[in-house]
Amino acid sequence: MVGIGLLGLGTVGTGVVEILEERQEELKFLIGEEIKIKKILVKNIDKKREIQLEENIITSDYNEILNCEDISIIVELTGDLDQGYKYIKDALNSGKDVVTANKAVVSKHFEELSSLAAEKDLAFLYEASVGGGIPILKRLKGELILNKITEVQGILNGTCNYILSSMFNKGLDYNEALKIAQDMGYAEADPTADVEGYDTLRKLRILGTLALQGKIDESDILLEGISKITPFDIEQIKSIDFIIKLIGEVKELEDGFIAVVQPTIMKESSYFANVDMAFNSIVFLGNNVGELKFSGLGAGKLPTANAVLADIVDIVEDTYRKGNPLGERKLNNLNEKLKAEYYLRISLPEEQEGKVFKAIKNISKKLLSEKENIAIITNEIEYLEIIKLLSSLEIDKNNYFIARIIK
Amino acid sequence: MVGIGLLGLGTVGTGVVEILEERQEELKFLIGEEIKIKKILVKNIDKKREIQLEENIITSDYNEILNCEDISIIVELTGDLDQGYKYIKDALNSGKDVVTANKAVVSKHFEELSSLAAEKDLAFLYEASVGGGIPILKRLKGELILNKITEVQGILNGTCNYILSSMFNKGLDYNEALKIAQDMGYAEADPTADVEGYDTLRKLRILGTLALQGKIDESDILLEGISKITPFDIEQIKSIDFIIKLIGEVKELEDGFIAVVQPTIMKESSYFANVDMAFNSIVFLGNNVGELKFSGLGAGKLPTANAVLADIVDIVEDTYRKGNPLGERKLNNLNEKLKAEYYLRISLPEEQEGKVFKAIKNISKKLLSEKENIAIITNEIEYLEIIKLLSSLEIDKNNYFIARIIK
């Protein structure tokens, strides 16, 4: 019997309990071991739960779990940055393997926790922290043995993808689409982390650091969210037969890397354009295996719980890769050299439009609209040059929207 | 040091040698073991090779490899059905782990070799036999622990996909497209196994048997290839904004399964429609993880060799799943109930057209063409009913083309 200490009994935690129950027999038959949740840490013991639990399994005292000798794996699903970090560190220091879905903690403390686990010869697995149900991290770590990986890209946030898909397919405006995403349980009550791109950024930090085998920190990643997009933008993008997605990308260049999370415009027939609604997708490029593309449900109770349990099974069967998976390459951030064609829309009072229009003519390759909203496709240009230009024109952040165009 | 006995030094075998050399240092560092090819079995020792080999490493005597105590893993890459089978069986019986890319052998002897390996407590891995570089089988086996899998679909043959993509995108006819595929090294000199769908069928047999956990044999799978498709067909399919792919599909129904390899027509915006050229793709559906989609290069020296080496690394690190992965469910073949709308084109001498046209009016939902070629979209109808009708009208196999339509 393998004992689990579960930290947090929200959506994903409940899913873990449910799948363990549903697959009890298969698990016992296929891995020859019973996996049993011995203790569950919650904030409020008296809260009513949607699932039936054994008596005395719930506690609000983490020490009770740490000191329980029957528990060998801690499954951290609190979603809390500070507490999650403390819980994971304490678990490893107490000699327990750790599985987590907490992307905020993994992103912020990736190097420290990875080396602590390696030093203690314990598992530290976090498949569910990136891409929900998509089994990407284990594969990425596996391919690193046989490949130099130079590129990883992804649609990494289901909420953003759902909002953009709804705006595009159903003609909703941003707030309507967000409201439906919230009603359907995709978006949180406070959607900032999703729509401003922080969630995508954290996942990209994890993917990029693994892929390039050198630290790519949160602050290394250029970030733009989707909250400023309007139906007017969608219309313009449709008019040129393109589609828009929030893409995170890390790419190795000759003497460094670029790392960026940005609304991105692409042809309707391109791969990412067809990753619809609540799906996520991750693509990486190895020098031997070539391009590998994965897609699946990026969030949700059962897909995410499935990923958590896949990590647990890997520990129980001892089939996870040992050692610290992070490399020690020193990598140069070349984001200032990031160059592309961009879609740029500026919304201003009529009296200011003339001046702005003149100023951006120099970087314009194609004019899409000059009335009410100015919208252009730029020449190939450095992103930072556009930002400089906008700032020199004193255009407020809320009055423009910018999206990179990829071929 | 882990010793490898390599059987066959064709394209994939050469790739294995090359990657092992390129990744020597990383392999040693990351898995703490040197992987070394000790012997290579070839038919003709004197043949000139494109790579430099150590002296005396080549042999034409399999016993020399079987008896070599330094060799613990046999990597079978002969591509030959009968010999491959014998080599694998002998290897397992001699206590050696086996990795193979030989889909013909795995498909034909799946149950026997799987249970022999399990009985001997040895590895029998065949990731490269399905989907080339796509890491699908290991994942599928992993997800089976946590999921009931009810559906697996795929574009499983790069040659067919390349031919159909070229016909569609470049307006080539079938023979021109085939010729280019051969010139580019995708298609064999004798392309029968690819274009008539046998290669897809074998891969589907392997995938389906694993996914549904019960034997789905080659003879269980309804088969149609792509060799009869004409530019006229492509035109008709384009005219209704659809695209065509060769799809293999196994699906569990309430009281059995369907298993089919068929040219398949779908909307341009659907997932498979955008799997282009030499890419393969596999999709499966688990009750917990949801739909997972994988795509990558389906063939080629390095991607396939990469998959072979991933299996080898799994054996060396002891991270592969132990035991027989095949289930013992008894499954009912329900192919006679397979029902869909179909695209049907019949080409006949003018004098026969009238009679045929009358006869197929009953099953027609939409008429696309009645001159020179009769082309229709059928009502939803059982596939076998169409075949019966065609045979009652004495229409030769070479005079029609049929493709299933999926939503």
Tell me whether residue B323 is in a domain: no
* Domains of chain A: total: 3
Residue B318 domain-assigned? Answer: no
Whether residues B70 and B13 share a domain: the answer is yes
Regarding whether A346 and A200 lie in a shared domain, the answer is: no
Q: Do residues B141 and B230 share a domain?
A: yes
* Statement to judge: residues B222 and B342 lie in one domain: no
Domain C-terminal end among B129, B161, B195:
B129
CATH of the domain at B92: 3.40.50.720
Whether residues A156 and A278 share a domain: the answer is yes
B304 inside domain: no
pLDDT tens-digit map of A195-224: 999 999 999 999 999 999 999 999 999 999
Please say if the pLDDT value at position A372 is more than 90.
no
Same domain, B100 and B151: no
**Is there a single domain that holds both residue A124 and residue A141?**
no
Q: Residue A186: what pLDDT? A: 80
> B326 and chain A: CB distance < 8 Å anywhere?
no
Query: Is B39 noted as a catalytic residue in this protein?
Result: no
- The model's confidence at residue A269, banded by pLDDT at 50, 70 and 90, is confident
| Interface list for B 274-313 with A (CB within 8 A) | 274, 281, 286, 288-297, 300, 302-303, 305-307, 309-310, 313
Domain boundary among the residues B96, B129, B162 is at B129
Q: What is the CATH number of the domain that holds B222?
A: 3.30.360.10
Query: What is the pLDDT, as a whole number, of residue A352?
Result: 83
Q: What is the pLDDT of residues A324-371, one digit of tens each?
A: 999 999 999 999 999 999 999 999 888 888 888 888 999 999 999 988
Cross-strand pairs, B251: B151, B258
Task: Give the range of the structural domain holding residue A345, as residue numbers without chain letter.
Answer: 338-405
With an 8 Å Cβ cutoff, are B134 and A292 in contact?
yes
B326 in a structural domain? no
Strands of B97-100's sheet in order across: B58-59, B35-41, B2-7, B71-76, B97-100, B124-125
Residues 6+ apart with CB under 8 A from B396: none
Q: How many Å apart are CA A124 and CA A102, to the nearest integer?
A: 12
Q: Residue A290: list chain B partners with CB under 8 A.
A: 133, 296-297, 300, 302-303
Residue A308 falls inside a structural domain: no
Which of A26, A138, A145 is the best residue to mutate to test the B interface, defined by the most B CB atoms within 10 Å of its own CB? A145
Task: Note whether B235 and B342 are same-domain residues.
Answer: no
A329 inside domain: no
pLDDT per residue of chain B (407 residues) written in tens, 0 to 9:
999 999 999 999 999 999 999 999 999 999 988 999 999 999 999 888 888 888 899 999 999 999 999 999 999 999 999 999 999 999 999 999 999 999 999 999 999 999 999 999 999 999 999 999 999 999 999 999 999 999 999 999 999 999 999 999 999 999 999 999 999 878 888 899 999 999 999 999 999 999 999 999 999 999 999 999 999 999 999 999 999 999 999 999 999 999 999 999 999 889 999 998 889 999 999 999 999 999 999 989 999 999 999 999 999 999 999 999 999 999 999 999 999 999 999 998 888 888 888 889 999 999 999 878 999 999 999 999 999 999 999 999 999 999 999 98
B35 touches B2 (CB < 8 A): yes
Q: Which of A268, A298, A328 is the last residue of a domain?
A: A298
Query: What is d(CA A263, CA A227) in angstroms, rounded to the nearest whole number?
Result: 10
Asked whether residue B32 is domain-assigned, the answer is yes
The mean per-residue pLDDT over the stretch A156-169 comes to 95
Residue A399 shares a structural domain with residue A254: no
Q: Across the beta sheet with A71-76, what order do the strands follow?
A: A58-59, A35-41, A2-7, A71-76, A97-100, A124-125
pLDDT score, position A307: 98
Residue A375: give its domain's CATH number: 3.30.70.790
In this structure, is residue A325 part of a structural domain? no
Closest by CA to B187, choosing from B169, B208, B203, B166, is B166
A269 contact residues in B (CB cutoff 8 A): 268, 274
Cβ <8 Å between B305 and A288: yes
> Is B290 in the same domain as B144?
yes
Q: DSSP 3-state assignment of A121?
A: coil
Asked if A84 and A169 sit in the same domain, the reply is no
Residues of A in contact with B310 (CB under 8 A): 142-143, 146
Same domain flag for A401 and A287: no
pLDDT exceeds cutoff 90 at A51: no
The number of residues in chain B equals: 407
Q: What is the ipTM of this complex?
A: 0.94
User: Which DSSP helix (H) or strand (E) runs through B58?
Assistant: strand B58-59
